[in-house]
Amino acid sequence: MLLLLVFATYLVQAQTSIGLSFATPSWRPLNSVIDRYNNLRPWLDKDMGNIGFMPGFTVSFGLAPSKGKFAFQALTLRKSSQRVTAKGNDDKRDLSVRLWTLSIFDFTYYPVTIGRLSLGLGAYPIELSRLKIRGRVNDDKFETYWKSPTVATFFLTNASSTPHIDLRYRLNPDKNTHLHFRMYWMLSWWGDEHMVFVNDKINSPAVAANQYSTQNMRCSHIGMQFLFDLF
């Protein structure tokens, strides 16, 4: 076992990646709630915008072989968020949307290498996420309208898998440091984000028109990452 560990350490190097993350969701149930808010308030000077571009950050830890054909990430954390605001009649309402995603494991294979440039494919087979939506009127304290359900107050129920395409540029031929661009597609396993509760908070005059089953939402989205790989 000790010899195997020494051999593995010789073949691979520790990897840390940090950078920016951008999610581009098309969350119709949530945006329908926002559209209803705007439609019920024709006096607004500024409508509340839809959730469609969520910047954030990424940090990951793992291993990479010295030749760089493979990469393994044991732990990756992504965070994306967006705040939208409506104004009218000297009042305003803020809606804050945050998505945290923890990837348990990732494997990436780089079959194409041209000089310092590598093209790869990979996947996060299991991810856990928490969606949190908060709001406030004027400058009051933010109130939580919805957050992803958990089991035993700890284990998140929002699970997903995420395939991705990678483009990696090696900065130094003698070191495994890279600039790294990744496109990913997060696919939620099920829709257990209930936007009906957000609707109840901001559209109380229209609660009677809610259809619970049509406001269940998945957190699926397309995103991109700009990373700096440190080895």
The domains of the chain are located at: 17-230
Best CA proximity match to 139, nearest among 74, 87, 176, 194: 87
Best CA proximity match to 47, nearest among 82, 95, 98, 97: 95
Structure tokens at 153: 């107050």
List Cα–Cα distances, 184 to 35, 221, 228, in angstroms: 28, 8, 17
Q: What is the pLDDT of residue 45?
A: 93
Looking at every residue in the chain, the average pLDDT score rounds to 86
Look at domain 17-230 and name its CATH class: mainly beta
Q: What is the pLDDT of residue 211?
A: 61
Q: What is the pLDDT of residue 12?
A: 59
199 phi, psi to nearest 5 deg: -60, -40
Share of the chain above pLDDT 70, in %: 86
Q: What is the pLDDT of residue 13?
A: 73
Q: What is the pLDDT of residue 160?
A: 94
Which of 1-5, 92-96, 108-112, 188-192 has the weakest average pLDDT? Answer: 1-5
> Quick one: CA torsion of 133, 102, 106, 170, rounded to 10 degrees?
80
Is the Cβ–Cβ distance between 161 and 175 less than 8 Å? no
- pLDDT level of residue 154 (50, 70, 90 thresholds): low
Cα gap 147→219, rounded to integer Å: 12
Cα gap 85→47, rounded to integer Å: 7
The pLDDT tens digits of the residues spanning 110-134 come to 999 898 899 999 999 999 999 999 9
- pLDDT level of residue 3 (50, 70, 90 thresholds): very low
Residue 179, phi-psi category: left (phi > 0), alpha (psi -120 to 50), beta (remainder):
beta
The pLDDT tens digits of the residues spanning 178-217 come to 899 999 999 999 888 999 999 989 987 666 556 655 688 9
pLDDT over 90 (residue 161) = yes
- Average of per-residue pLDDT across 155-178: 86
Best CA proximity match to 13, nearest among 90, 70, 76, 91: 70
